[in-house]
Structure 1
Amino acid sequence: MKFTLKLVLGLLLATTLTTAESRGEGDAAPKPLNVLMIGNSQCPTIVNSQLIDKLAASDKGARPIKVTGCIKGGASLRSHWEAGTGPTTARGMIAAGPWDFVMLQDIYHVQPAAFQPYARQFHEAIKAAGAQTVLFGTASILSDYPAGFERLHTMHFAMGKELNVPIVDASQAYFRYFGEKPSSEKLESLFAKDRAHPGLQGSYLYSCGIYSVLTGRSPVGLAAPEAIPSDVAKALQETAWAQYQETTAELKK
């Protein structure tokens, strides 16, 4: 009798575990995507306010994302590279890993001759560390609109094609959001008061574009900072997603 009861209980327990496993209840929490962002003062709001992390957290079924910054004000890829391999340097952090993605963001006034060799060298270091390179082409300063925006787009697109890596084509996303004949108010809406760094809306547009590139998922309908009106947040999300789709298709040609 005791043996029979023990057998029945064992069968019930096995059935319960099998049912839970089929529902995924026994699965471990999904592993976060670990992202290292190497850049300058275009990036602090993205990292410090965890804008990308919060987009992922609000996306049902998506993996969590943890973004770590190697951010130095006024830094170029060249200065990041020349900083050496100490534990807090870009090269040191890449090697320490592990990272799923490493994003490279250069200074707004960089020219091709200064951008290309360091993008290539960082890409090789990133590959050696087992991670995926992402090129983050930001907007330029407002006084450099539109020529500087186009220069950054052209450089990053060409390097993305050469290295066969994805790019966050934020300068083109700014163009898309501004439209054909933007007002001064529209132009300034993505910038901080200094008209050089992204404001909250600009940083959020960056973040939605980055999220699309990292995941291939749309940011439309995901979390946005309370300070951004809901209609503006939706427009920024839709802009980022449309630009991601266009840029991805162009890179594949």
Structure 2
Amino acid sequence: MTRLSHTLALAAFVLLSLPSVSTAQDEAEKKTLNVLFIGNSYTARHNLSTVVKTMAEAGQPGLTFNRTDVIYGGRTLKDHWRLGTQNIVSQSTVTEAEEKATIAALEKAVAADPKDKYAPSALARHRALLPELESHRQPWDIIVLQSYRDDLTGDPTLYAEYAPKFAALAKAQGARVVLYETTPTTQNEKPLATPPDPAPVLAKTRAIAALANRIDASVAPMALVTQRCQEQRPDITTRFINDAHLNQNLAYLTACTLYAALFETSPVGLPVDSITDIRTFEGKPADKTKDRDGLPLTRTFSAKDRADLQRIAWEGWNEFQKLR
């Protein structure tokens, strides 16, 4: 064999031994995120975390977005702490003794207050977790902490008191924290004739920014983003008339903002174009195909509305970064 033919044969062997470029790229793009959402109906309504999952997997090719919700209606992070949600956050390291202690505390709470609607649900959750602890040792990658009126008053607010407690547990396992700030007091059930007063929103937003800086968290700043929507698209409503919760418009805007916070990437261009609520019309007659206001349960957005909501979410998220 000549020196040239030997060299060519060796080169061919090396090339055949290497993975193809496309396969290597595919492997590099494969990633799984395990994401825990802690909140109340502002997370449960519209299956918000599922919408975020759909957006994430559409906008981040190759990503598997595994979502888990811990929901207690109307509850805050303080309530979640009482109900043992910190054990879910720490499930990769929580001990059997710690989980048994939580169960004992919840059993005591149930016995002490039969009117406590949430302790029985939490007790059932932790009783189910105990025998399955070893199969739940996967650490979280991201933990989303929802506020709910606990970020309005107090110095510090209850949100500013309890978010760091959960954040410390998240950081101990290398997880990122995302603060999902809700804004129930500024939602509009009707189109606006005049812009809202920006001063209260700015004050609250600055407080959230300070908290985020203190615990090194990302933020979905919904007070600021909602205000931006109300200024630019005053025709868009953000809550139901017959229900105080965020409507499909604000749910979509929130999902886009969470996407921006999770990936620091614009949601503009995402193909997701609809939102479906989980609560139906309770009038006479009841109609499970209609939402609380008697409109279609699923709202499919026009190309303009979808583009505007995506853009407003991204602009609002970027505006928030300037306050940090």
Q: TM-score, normalised by structure 2?
A: 0.63
Change beyond 3 A, Cα 1:158–1:46: farther
2:228 maps to which residue? Answer: 176
State the distance in 1 between where 2:10 and 2:72 align: 60
Contact 1:143 1:195 in 2 (8 A): no
Which residue, 108, 121, 145 being the options, matches 2:165?
121
> Does 1:207 find its partner at 2:202?
no
Deviation at 1:115, TM superposition (A): 2.1
Consecutive aligned runs of 4 or more in structure 1 exceeding 6 Å deviation:
9-14
| Count of residues in correspondence between the two structures | 235
Q: Deviations over 1:18-59 (max 9, x none)?
A: 252465367276122221111111111354671111112222
Residue identity over aligned pairs, in percent, reads 24
Kindly report which structure 2 residues correspond to 1:122-201, keeping only aligned pairs within 5 A, or say none: 122-141=166-185, 142=187, 149=201, 152-179=204-231, 183=234, 185-186=235-236, 189-194=237-242, 196-201=244-249
**Greater radius of gyration (CA):** 2
State the distance in 2 between where 1:10 and 1:26 align: 27
| 3-state SS in 1 of match to 2:42 | coil
> Does 1:243 find its partner at 2:312?
no
Letter in 1 for 2:173: A
Which residue, 108, 119, 122 being the options, matches 2:149?
108
| 3-state SS in 2 of match to 1:42 | helix
Contact 1:35 1:67 in 2 (8 A): yes
Contact 1:45 1:200 in 2 (8 A): no
Letter in 2 for 1:233: R
Letter in 1 for 2:220: V
Deviation at 1:194, TM superposition (A): 3.4
State the distance in 2 between where 1:37 and 1:60 align: 19
State the distance in 2 between where 1:176 and 1:164 align: 25
| 3-state SS in 2 of match to 1:162 | helix
State the distance in 2 between where 1:163 and 1:60 align: 26
Contact 2:29 2:63 in 1 (8 A): no
Unmatched 5+ residue regions in structure 1? 1-8, 85-89
Unmatched 5+ residue regions in structure 2? 1-8, 92-137, 190-195, 275-299
| 3-state SS in 2 of match to 1:153 | helix
| 3-state SS in 1 of match to 2:323 | helix
Give RMSD over aligned pairs.
3.1
Contact 1:138 1:152 in 2 (8 A): no
